[in-house]
Amino acid sequence: MNTRNKRLVVGLGNPGRKYRQTRHNTGFMVVDALAAMWRVAFSDRLTDIEFGRHSLVGIDVFIAKPLGYMNNSGPPVQQLVDRYHFKYEDLIIVYDDIDLAFGTLKIKEKGGSGGHNGIKSIMQTFGSGAFTRLRVGIGRPIPGVDVTGHVLRPFELSERDPLLRVIDRAAEAVHAILCEGTLSAMNRFNGKQM
């Protein structure tokens, strides 16, 4: 059971129509799914981040998307942390991970960046890695495709239906972290591939 009264869920991605359905925007897709599930609009905005709020089992939950590019995710998230006095431990950051097979979820408290530039930016800005992460597996590129090309490429048509299930499952994992606590959510969701 969660004893915190305030949490911030941030989905990482890149802004704009060009990137909307790319692998690197998986974090945005998950917070969009949460917004739809909770009927929350991203109606509030600070300079470089948009967010909405929802009350869930006595927790004031903020869901947010930075408006700048992935590699500069830290400063916008810090704006929201500062404005609403979040502790880093109150954060859940949702993002894509090429080191996990497509559809695999992994929840972790604290840790390093794993080479993810959005997480690197957040850690550099915070000076800390003391936040919860939900990594959503997008798989490695096929031979001959570089990593940047892979993450900035839209999902294949054959992946779109499974992707919807992955996004729903990731949103369910965030919900479980908030309602049941991180350890319980880890036991339910970690390593389970769609």
Residues marked as catalytic: 24
In the numeric block, which tokens belong to residue 54?
Answer: 């929802």
- Judge whether 66 and 76 are in contact, CB under 8 Å: yes
C-alpha–C-alpha distance, residues 101 and 61, integer Å:
29
Q: What is the CA radius of gyration of the chain?
A: 15
CB contact set of 3 (below 8 Å; sequence gap of 6+): none
CB contact set of 140 (below 8 Å; sequence gap of 6+): 98, 99, 150
| Residue where the block lists tokens 């909405």 | 52
- Residue 122's closest CA among 74, 156, 176? 74
The burial class, CB within 10 Å (0-12 / 13-18 / 19+), for 69 is: middle
In the numeric block, which tokens belong to residue 31?
Answer: 């917070």
